[in-house]
Amino acid sequence: VSANEYKEALLAARDDIDILLAESACGPLMVRLAWHDAGNYDKNLASEKWPIAGGATGSIRFAPEINHGANAGLINGVKLIQTHIKEKHQLISYADLYQMASSRAIEYTGGGPSLGIRYGRQDVDSPDGCQKEGNLPDGEADPDTGNYGGTSGTASTEDKTPGGHLRKVFYRMGMNDEEIVALSGAHSLGRAYHDRSGLGAEQTKFTDGSTTTQKFANGKVTPFHAGGSSWTEQFFVFDNSYFIVLDDDTSDPELLKMSSDKAVFKDDDFRPFAEKFRDNKDSFFESYVKA
Ligand code: HEM
């Protein structure tokens, strides 16, 4: 295909993704889907033959990867993209569609920055391209061992502290401390669910569907399925509220703060970035885009 044809196909897919995001309120799920497809990247394997180093290759759509513990619930996102977008936009890879859905959930429904991402990712075409389990971060330590990482083949990311564990996971991807803190701010969106990660409450006053209203960044009220614990009150809006709430001891106790989240203020080298993002939304956006 010509560059122009490809561009037109991308724009058409984007229109349908925008409709899907607005109608099914799946934006946060898409951000997590794209991140988990990409976040197994290992820079130490970068010189190996593609797709050994992992990254955004669409491998998450196959078992066994989709059944990894960290990916609980993401099958719903895979199915939404498959049936609503991919079947109509065959030209675009799954890997690109996942990243596009994430980017639109941040910019379009979320009101966040334009990520300016580039497209043209190639998909792996079979489960042989799946990544090994254990490359993604833990929000809480194993209650028996006190270790973050380590329960599912993640020995290389094991650590007694959340900050140490996050560094092992994110440094392997080639990220630095500022990028770890900025990317953590994606928890401005979405929720943790009891029947997925097992973290947080069954539901809270923000997620029970009866007491609060959820809005997209354009002010339009969005219906959503009840349940889970959100990090922020408006969990379809992408802004720096995650950092504001996290650093506020008087914030509503029904908002979620995992140990890995708290680390962005508790860890001495993370804290300056968390404070900067708390105080300045534009600086958060700038660092998030870069990361
Ligand atoms: C820093 C280490 C991180 C840890 C330990 C972590 C952990 C988690 C956990 C446990 C959940 C709940 C999943 C569930 O129960 O459904 C979650 C949800 C989520 N995560 Fe993270 N995460 C991290 C980083 C990130 C990053 C880098 C992004 C994106 C850039 C991200 C985006 C999301 C989103 C959007 C949700 C909500 C999904 C939904 O509402 O369905 N997270 N994360």
Concatenating the DSSP letter of every residue in 225-253 gives ---BEESSSSTTS-STHHHHHHT-TTS-T
State pLDDT tens for residues 154-168.
788 999 999 999 999
pLDDT of residue 211: 82
Is the pLDDT at 1 greater than 90? The verdict is no
Residue burial 118-139, b: 16+ Cβ < 10 Å; e: rest: ebebebbeeeebbbebbbbbbb
Least confident of 179-193, 202-216, 259-273: 202-216
Mean pLDDT of the 240-263 span: 98
Q: How far is the CA of 87 from the centre of ligand 1 (A)?
A: 27
Q: For ligand 1, atom 25, name the residue with the nearest CA.
A: 184
State pLDDT tens for residues 121-137.
999 999 999 999 999 99
Q: How far is the CA of 41 from the centre of ligand 1 (A)?
A: 16
User: Annotated catalytic, 187?
Assistant: no
Q: Rounded to the nearest 10 degrees, what angle do helices 177-184 and 259-266 cross at?
A: 130
Q: How far is the CA of 191 from the centre of ligand 1 (A)?
A: 8
d(CA 24, CA 105): 11
Is the pLDDT at 74 greater than 90? The verdict is yes
Q: For ligand 1, atom 40, name the residue with the nearest CA.
A: 190
Write the CA distances from 51 to 81, 96, 143, 209, integer angstroms. 22, 15, 34, 42
Is the pLDDT at 96 greater than 90? The verdict is yes
Least confident of 58-62, 100-104, 142-146: 142-146
Atom of ligand 1 nearest to the CA of 105: 35
Q: How far is the CA of 265 from the centre of ligand 1 (A)?
A: 17
State pLDDT tens for residues 158-206.
999 999 999 999 999 999 999 999 999 999 999 999 999 999 999 999 9
Q: How far is the CA of 138 from the centre of ligand 1 (A)?
A: 10
Cβ atoms of 193 and 73 within 8 Å: the answer is yes
- How far separated are the first and last CA of the chain, in Å rounded? 31
Of the chain, the percentage scoring pLDDT greater than 90 comes to: 96
Give domain 155-290's CATH number out of 3.40.720.10, 3.40.50.1360, 1.10.420.10, 1.20.1090.10. 1.10.420.10
Mean pLDDT of the 53-75 span: 97
What is the residue extent of each domain of the chain? 3-129, 155-290
DSSP state of 217: T
Is the pLDDT at 256 greater than 90? The verdict is yes
d(CA 261, CA 280): 18
CATH 1.10.520.10: does it fit domain 3-129? yes
Mean pLDDT of the 54-69 span: 97
pLDDT of residue 83: 98
Between 277 and 145, residue with greater pLDDT: 277
Is the shortest distance between the CB of 106 and ligand 1 below 6 Å? no
pLDDT of residue 128: 97
Structure tokens at 156: 């290389």
Is the shortest distance between the CB of 56 and ligand 1 below 6 Å? no
pLDDT of residue 150: 78
pLDDT of residue 153: 64
pLDDT of residue 217: 97
pLDDT of residue 212: 86
* Probe target for ligand 1 pocket from 35, 138, 148, 285, with the most ligand atoms within 8 Å of CB: 35
Mean pLDDT of the 31-58 span: 97
Is the shortest distance between the CB of 73 and ligand 1 below 6 Å? yes
Among the listed residues 36, 68, 84, 89, the single catalytic one is 36
Instruction: State the chain's maximal CA–CA distance in angstroms.
Output: 56
Residue 87: exposure state from Cβ atoms within 10 A (0-12, 13-18, ≥19): exposed
Mean pLDDT of the 237-253 span: 98
